[in-house]
Homo-oligomer: A and B are copies of this chain.
């Protein structure tokens, strides 16, 4: 038994003894959305009715892009088919005000589709090009359409699979295996100590851009263990307490970002040079200038719609 396995009664009691909280997860782009999934009601009949409904609102995807229809991402079924969507690949995301919300995919070629404006999904979120309620549907639709594009065959036997449950399952006609869309949990954390926090930059990031450390939760691992392992592997820092903050679906293509604040017990940074091109301590004052985009050297953070921004901001504003 290590120290962490000894749970005091105080710690057990603490969870219900805190002040009321808003749902932080619902406040960020991709985390909100008013779509009603009706997951238990995905029968063959209800799916067929939804896919054929005249009231359906249809999202149109091409790779990492979503089509825009003025200030919305919703089209009619007829518009989606006219844009080149394959009717057999249309899936049912859920319902809004009882109207089905569908997702269609158009081919990567040709690059230009007459009458359709396509925008990178990150840009749609950053620039707020659609109502916040539609971003949740876009996240769901993007994850699912990507999954179908990359999972046409049975991992168990290699045969071609077919879409079922309105797009929430693929079945293998050969071996009978059922395949469900994946959602990959990722631990994303801000290690803090007193007035300082740890930020890093991947070689893939734009110059001057810093963010939280993050990594996939591995099989057989708790969220807290993933926070400790990733922070230690990437920055050489030992973590004590871990506190869950909020979660955010991250549809690139199918991550669930699990945001945590983490208590750094050590200060020396040993950077993983393959993963990070820079990693260092930042003071609250410096972070505040990065949030305000007034940093003297132009350093900046992820935009407000990303949970990394909110994790950093929540800490920076707490003093």
Contacts and interface: CB of A to CB of B under 8 A. Distances in A.
Contact of A40 (B30, B233, B258): B233
Interface string A16-30: 111111111111001
A98 interface: no
Nearest to A21: B11
A153 B143 contact: no
The contact size tier of chain A is: 35 or more
B181 A182 contact: no
Most chain B CB within a 10 A radius of its CB, from A40, A142, A218: A218
Number of copies: 2
A237 interface: no
B318 A40 contact: no
A281 interface: no
A159 to B, nearest CB: 7
Contact of A249 (B156, B222, B229, B244): B222
Contacts of A256: 185, 217, 221-223
A219 B14 contact: no
A152 interface: yes
Contacts of A293: none
A11 B4 contact: no
A105 interface: no
Contacts of A155: 150-155, 179
Contacts of A55: none
Interface stretch (A61-69, A82-90, A106-114, A132-140): A132-140
A265 interface: no
Contact of A132 (B5, B26, B246): B5
Interface in A233-249: 233-234, 241-249
Interface of A: 1-27, 30-34, 37-40, 132, 136-137, 139-144, 147, 150-160, 168, 177, 179-185, 192, 215-225, 229, 233-234, 241-249, 251, 254, 256, 258, 261, 272, 274-275, 314-315, 317-318
